[in-house]
Amino acid sequence: MNTETYSQTASFIWSVADLLRGNFKQSQYGRIILPFTLLRRLECVLAPTKQKVLDAAELHKTKPDAVREKLLIRESGHQFFNSSSLSLETLSDTQTAEDLISYVQSFSESAREIFEHFNFEEFVLRLAEADLLYQVTQRFGTKIDLSPSTVSNFGMGLIFEELIRKFAESSNETAGEHFTPRDCVHAATSLLMTGQEDVLTPNSIITIYDPTAGTGGFLSESDEYIQSISEKVTVKLFGQELNPESYAICKADMMIKGQEVDNIKLGNTLSNDQLPRERFRYMLANPPFGVDWKASQRVVNDEHKAKGFGGRFGPGLPRVSDGSLLFLLHLVSKMRDPKEGGSRIGIVLNGSPLFTGSAGSGESEIRRYLLQNDLVEAIVALPTDMFFNTGISTYIWILSNNKKPERKGKLQLIDGSNDFAKMRKSLGSKRKYLTDEHINKLVRLYGNIAENDNSKVFTNETFGYRRITIERPLRLNFQTSSERLERLLDEKALQKLSESDIKKLHRALANIDPEHLFINREQFTDAMNKTLKQVELKLTAAQQKAVLNALSERDNSADVCTDNKGTPEADNTLRDYENVPLSECVQKYFEREVKPHVPDAWIDESKRDEQDGEVGIVGFEIPFNRHFYVFEPPRPLEEIDADLKECTDRIKQMIEELSA
């Protein structure tokens, strides 16, 4: 069965919604169709050993539940069983609800829990009340074949993904928060496993983790990929998922595959890590793009402050509007010690983690931590329009804390944005997909650490810089013209003066020639103080500063304003910043790039980096597109003029034809 056939199967399953119209809201269709699809899949998987389980259930009916469950699991050949003689096809048409609930309750405990997360009984009773339950069960039981011989686990994953996408569309939810398209999963998995032959040896045990597991796409794909390229490797899958329906599907998938279902957890990974002591060999994730972390903010902030680098979020916290980098830090905290072989991470992110945040910000500090600790191996740009709910640019990050010698201290950027095939029919925002040939090209570029138009390798230091503050002196002129005197009323510090003091102030300033333009602040201050003394008015420092502010204007030809020690004061309106590459000397850069243009400028040396104490705040950003930009010179003016003339001539001809 090919991908198109899976899509057709999903569409046929979704057609059950035709029965629900009028009795249920569109947003509820998925809450009925998804658990019934899952139930049918489990039923089909168990069908070959069903009679053996029924015989064993009768034989061991008097034994304790725990013992009986183990015996029935052994007979089923899976991690679950159903001890009921019923099936969707054989449910009674007179007491369908009772029979169906009894049928579901006859599953083993781990399977029953899955249906609890769908609130299955509630919808069963509502279907029965609407006189639709028997029709729905018959549609699934007699017309939909989901047996493993017809639909593989991979295909079942595609069907679930298509159903969830339709569910998301009907309920205005975000499908991309639940799963990742399989071509993206395959690309990330292939990149992550490249060069891992020495790890995937016979009889080895591999652990794989996904903190945003969704329906289990990454976990299933990585397991299948490892099994396809190695022999006798035991793969243990772990995951955590926030959405109950996605969690239920993921858990069912793991159960069918024979994985430990207790390794799949339900809950918010950021605020409630349910695998706190586990460390993993491989990790894969596609956290939701641009989704805020307000719900976890208090817990995350507390962990950041209390535990620092002893917790998950020591390097820093990104802005609340996007939690992508928090998931990346969470994965980094799950890395095994390099002495034990270390870990590798593959994570799909949007563009903002590459460059959002200036020097000193949470995002920049996170990038700094990752690059200065040499954790990032490669970043691969994918084409736009790859996801079901968004057409934005996305990137696969590959991280490792046990790099091979040829990769140490380096970061490889791969541009795969132009390698794609167009879909015959769009699925939401997904208009492009990666073929095996495209994925193989990316893998070869990565594996060979190639240097060409689509792949570039840089030292980690390349992406670091120091943000220095450039100051220029304050230059002011002063005058007591009527226009400037009116500004005195706008100064808050002077508004507290009594009416008599205001009159004294104006009388004092009137003694200064309004035509005279002072270009030296000290000279004007002396003249002002002299007249204030004459009218017996004493101003506070704040009030005097307010008078100077009202009567001054910036003037490049004026003398530099200095403090009591003769040090030039900085003009905050002329303040500027320069990003100096980490590989360069700050002073040499300043002398070469700044001084020739603004000779009176200086570096504010009080702005120093908290970590190394040097002048300038250290920042890191990865301007991916800049490194692959190819300049295209504009067309010659002659060509443009010729096109314009042709266009105007055509318009003129059309007008003449209309007026003829």
User: Domain check: are 389 and 535 in the same one?
Assistant: no
Determine the Cα–Cα distance for residues 276 and 328; give it in Å rounded to an integer.
15
Sign of torsion over alpha carbons 96, 102, 107, 109: positive
- Give the pLDDT score at 176: 44
Domain membership of residue 268 as a residue range: 176-463
- Give the pLDDT score at 175: 42
Determine the Cα–Cα distance for residues 475 and 600; give it in Å rounded to an integer.
11
Mean pLDDT of 347-372: 95
Percent of the chain with pLDDT over 90: 66
Taking the alpha carbons at both ends of the chain, their separation in whole angstroms is 64
- Give the pLDDT score at 1: 53
User: Domain check: are 42 and 95 in the same one?
Assistant: yes
- Say if residue 177's pLDDT is above 80: no
Q: Report pLDDT digits (tens) over 617-643.
A: 999 999 998 988 877 788 888 888 888
Lowest mean pLDDT among 295-299, 431-435, 586-590, 655-659: 655-659
Pairing assessment for the beta strands 455-459 and 421-427 based on DSSP bridges: unpaired
User: Domain check: are 333 and 243 in the same one?
Assistant: yes
Q: Report pLDDT digits (tens) over 564-612.
A: 888 999 999 999 999 999 999 999 999 999 999 999 999 999 999 999 9
Q: What share of the chain is helix, strand, coil (3-state, %, to 5)?
A: 50, 15, 35
Rounded to the nearest integer, the mean pLDDT of the chain is: 91
Pairing assessment for the beta strands 552-554 and 617-620 based on DSSP bridges: unpaired
Q: Which of 408, 429, 463 is the last residue of a domain?
A: 463
Mean pLDDT of 480-502: 90
User: Domain check: are 124 and 272 in the same one?
Assistant: no
User: Cα-flanking dihedrals φ and ψ of residue 500, to 5°?
Assistant: -70, -35
Domain CATH for 443: 3.40.50.150
Determine the Cα–Cα distance for residues 355 and 151; give it in Å rounded to an integer.
43
User: Domain check: are 89 and 160 in the same one?
Assistant: yes
Contacts of 542 (CB under 8 A, 6+ apart): 493
Q: Is residue 627 assigned to a domain?
A: no
- Say if residue 3's pLDDT is above 80: no
Q: Total domain count for the chain?
A: 3
Q: Which of 138, 158, 173 is the last residue of a domain?
A: 173
- Say if residue 238's pLDDT is above 70: yes
User: Domain check: are 407 and 508 in the same one?
Assistant: no
CB burial string 21-37: b at 16+ within 10 A, e below: eeebeeebbbbbbbbbb
* 183: exposed, middle or buried (Cβ count in 10 Å: 0-12, 13-18, 19+): buried
Residue 235 near residue 226 (C-beta atoms within 8 A): yes
Mean pLDDT of 80-109: 92
471 three-state secondary structure: strand
Where are the alpha helices (H) located in 47-108, listed in sequence order?
50-59, 65-76, 96-105
Contacts of 358 (CB under 8 A, 6+ apart): 364, 467, 619
Q: Report pLDDT digits (tens) over 247-272.
A: 888 888 888 888 888 999 999 999 99
Contacts of 30 (CB under 8 A, 6+ apart): 163, 164, 166, 167, 168, 170, 171, 245
Pairing assessment for the beta strands 464-471 and 344-350 based on DSSP bridges: unpaired
- Give the pLDDT score at 388: 77
Q: Is residue 226 assigned to a domain?
A: yes
User: Domain check: are 505 and 420 in the same one?
Assistant: no
User: Domain check: are 322 and 387 in the same one?
Assistant: yes
Q: Which of 539, 554, 569 is the last residue of a domain?
A: 554
Cα angle value 297/292/294 (rounded, 5°): 25
Nearest CA among 345, 425, 427 for reference residue 386: 427
Specify the residue for token string 């007249």. Answer: 531
Pick the more confident residue, 635 or 130.
130
User: Domain check: are 498 and 371 in the same one?
Assistant: no
Mean pLDDT of 417-422: 91
- The total number of residues written for the chain in this structure: 660
Mean pLDDT of 528-539: 92
User: Domain check: are 16 and 58 in the same one?
Assistant: yes
User: Domain check: are 219 and 144 in the same one?
Assistant: no
Q: Is residue 577 assigned to a domain?
A: no
Q: Is residue 427 assigned to a domain?
A: yes
Q: Is residue 619 assigned to a domain?
A: no
Nearest CA among 136, 171, 321, 331 for reference residue 243: 171
Contacts of 194 (CB under 8 A, 6+ apart): 443, 446, 447
Sign of torsion over alpha carbons 525, 530, 532, 536: positive
Q: Is residue 294 assigned to a domain?
A: yes
Angle at which helices 244-256 and 217-229 cross, to 10°: 20
- Give the pLDDT score at 316: 95
Q: What torsion do the CA atoms of 139, 143, 145, 150 make, to the nearest 10 degrees?
A: -150
Give the DSSP H/E element, type plus range, for residue 477: strand 476-478
Determine the Cα–Cα distance for residues 204 and 209; give it in Å rounded to an integer.
17
Q: What is the DSSP string of 329-389?
A: HHHHHTBPPGGGT--EEEEEEESHHHH-S-TTSHHHHHHHHHHHTT-EEEEEEPPSS-SSS
Structure confidence at residue 189 as a pLDDT band (50, 70, 90)? very high
Q: Cβ of 448: how many Cβ atoms within 10 Å?
A: 12
Determine the Cα–Cα distance for residues 128 and 445; give it in Å rounded to an integer.
57
Nearest CA among 245, 247, 281 for reference residue 265: 247
User: Domain check: are 153 and 262 in the same one?
Assistant: no
Residue 322 near residue 292 (C-beta atoms within 8 A): yes
